[in-house]
Structure 1
Amino acid sequence: MENKDLVIHWMEEGMVNIPHILLSNYTKLHLTESELVLLLQIYAFKSKGNGFPTPEQLAENMTITSGECAITLRKLIQQHFLAIEEGDHPGFEKYSLKPLWRKLADFVLLENRQKELEKAVTNEKDLYTCFEQEFGRPLSPLECETLAIWLDQDHHDAMIIKTALREAVISGKLNFRYIDRILFEWKKQGIETIEQARVHGQRFRQNQNKYTKPKPSSKTVPFYNWLGDDTVD
């Protein structure tokens, strides 16, 4: 067979697209390499129109025997990685990989929720640290409770609370009552992002400057930039 004919033969054989997320996470689903390859073999057979390959057919493309294939198939069905459904024609059956995709989807969603929870816990710890650094002292039990209420009951994002702290510092009104007023106003105005809060705070200060004559002062008050940028509004 000439090289060109060989390439044509390969192309006519078709290709199997393997989800990268499966290759990255199959061990976390407690699948062995043999079990993964067997599932991929079924996937390949299905793509060619054979929805119910025999253990003998599967073993031809693997390094395990047909008997081992049969045992592995039963195990995969018992562990809900594989299912047998009614085929496209009466009296025929076919393998279904839907259980595998469901398990994979559940795992990814659970892992994402876990990451979000860990991020929220980290942000919450960092939030308390930010307040203590800015106030220059440990927070009182009442202040800690107020922070918890903002997070758990009022459902303010930690970064929004930090931004409100920043606004209080800029305004020279570093107290929890003033920060609570800021958060209440932002929630009423539908402000949910840091950028929206920045714009609102800037407009508010500009409006105040129209009616308030600035008092000359040589003293500057340093403050911590919680947003991590170099520009101060």
Structure 2
Amino acid sequence: MSDKNHQEKRTARQRLAAEREKQKAAEKRRRTLIVSATVVCVLGLAAVVGVLAANAGRSEQSSAGPVVAPSGAQGKDSLAIPVGKDGAASTLTVWEDFRCPACQAFEKTYRPVLKELTDSGRLRIQYHLVRLIDGNLGGTGSLRAANAAACAQDAGKFPAYHDVLFENQPRETDDAYADNDRLIELAGKVDGLNTPAFAQCVRNGTHDSWVDKVHEAFGAGGFSGTPTVLLNGKNLMEDPDMTPQKLKQMVEAAGKG
């Protein structure tokens, strides 16, 4: 082998090694983002300890009215909003809060592979919408956003509106989603969603008591933070090496089994 060819191959190997290290570093940053943000979603912010006590009764108070599950809700007590096809070999159970920055980080990181797997029929997602941040920091943005998402489910527009809420998520300490007008405005980003029926559902808090029931189930399940993500019962957030590619491999393996 000529010195020139040897040098070219060595350079190619070096470039490949450098690219692999770059990819590893990027994955580590994404996992760190999710893990560090989850701490916030579990505990709230230390600076607002006084606020927690002041708002505890108000933010955790059950919403008045009957429990009205959104159209197509499934599972025990109809607490889950399904995305994906019936009969998928794997089920991903997701507990999320629209005010939670770790939930936003999870969605941004995993959304492409989740869409690929649900569109292909290999994965079905069961979304559970909770109001953890309302309890931690006070306010009602988690509840109001979850109710609006349930209203979007009634209209057959849940996946798109779910993504819009995370894409436009305010700072965790900014209770912007407590404003129904803001939630209705964001519905304009989803084709065909911003209708009088949707607006009425949002303003009336049609699914508020349902959201409270989902939140109660979250606590009863022994979960402490959002996002909580279970693949066929296995808690993925407990795996420090979890990546979108690894999740895809697990789903594909389950399909072959």
* TM-score, length of structure 2 as denominator length: 0.24
Higher relative contact order at CA 8 Å, sep ≥6: structure 1 or structure 2? Answer: 2
Structure number with greater Rg is 1
